[in-house]
Amino acid sequence: MFRALPVGSVAIFALGASAAMANESLREDARYMFEPIPMQVQALDNNILSSARIDLGAMLFFDPRMSRSGLFSCQSCHNVGMGGVDGLETSIGHGWQKGPRNAPTVYNAVFNIAQFWDGRSPDLADQAKGPVQAGVEMNNTPIRVLDTINSMEAYIDAFEAAFPGEEDPVTFDNFALAIEAFETTLITPNSRFDQYLMGADTLNDQELRGLQAFMEQGCAACHAGVNLGGEGYFPFGLVERPGADVLPEGDRGRFAVTETVSDDYVFRAAPLRNIALTAPYFHSGAVWELEEAVAVMGVSQLGAELSDADVADITAFLHTLTGEIPEVVHQVLPARTSTTPYPEEM
């Protein structure tokens, strides 16, 4: 025998069903724009991700002797224990010089369309060659890097294991490929947002409002895909150019790469994965608080003065993009020998 539910209970049930339908509709919209980070490391077209190559890449990533001074390594600016960044407005390099731009995170960099803020490197291998040679960063040369590596038998053995069958495996190209192999493993899957995309109800009401605002306000036009950014190039100040403290006039972005007028002050859209861990923000590193960064983007890119509520909601959503940071083992590095180049004073 069935009993009729009280009118109030029916109303509550209907509201609950309506909310559930709205949540599923929002989830489907999100799935159209975003993708979860794969749980497993993905293969590369032009590199072999063998354990020997990955381990060698980790050694090189952490080894400060790859710099002329013996002080700076890839880890110096892309600290895997600090969200893959150094936590500075712009990085400090050779001679204690300040670099021109904020260090992008190394985590999930493999998913970017290209590397560096201006996209001047097509992949992580090409990118790995840049800071080593940049005078403001590691200030080294390919020849000196190879002299350092060839001075230590353990490194030569590691290169032979990582690049089997090659007549001369210790090359600058292979140096870069090994670092790329290691950095490809630095992915952060299974964030609460990834779990949400895969069907779990892991976002609270404020975070759901933030996701909806993120899509409806237009943020996802630039920050979409698996990395919520990193897939295209856009003018910074699309609607209203921010002040010179946020957008320095001397840094014209992708224009320096293409020398095309339409690329003036154009930058690769910042990937937003783990954004709560990677302050300060923008290529200038001028903004330290995530809420302020959201508000700046509202004005400069959307032409909208976002309400305090929208800023708070979007910021809450951005916190759900923090994934599982992989456990990275700092390799024991080969001991120097009498033929290892001495560090040079800065």
What is the set of active-site residues?
A: 137
* Residues facing residue 163 across a β-bridge: none
Task: Specify whether the CB–CB gap between 173 and 165 falls below 8 A.
Answer: no
Cα distance between residue 221 and residue 232, in whole Å? 10
Cα distance between residue 345 and residue 336, in whole Å? 18
Element spanning 179, H or E = helix 172-184
Task: Specify whether the CB–CB gap between 133 and 141 falls below 8 A.
Answer: yes
Cα distance between residue 241 and residue 139, in whole Å? 34
* Omega cis (within 30) before 271: no
Euclidean distance between the first and the last CA atom of the chain, given in angstroms as a whole number:
88
User: Can you say whether residue 19 is alpha, beta or left, with left for phi > 0 and alpha for psi between -120 and 50 degrees?
Assistant: alpha
CB atoms within 10 A of CB 218: 16
Cα distance between residue 100 and residue 216, in whole Å? 34
CA 281 to chain centre: 12
Cα distance between residue 8 and residue 151, in whole Å? 80
Rg (CA), the chain: 23
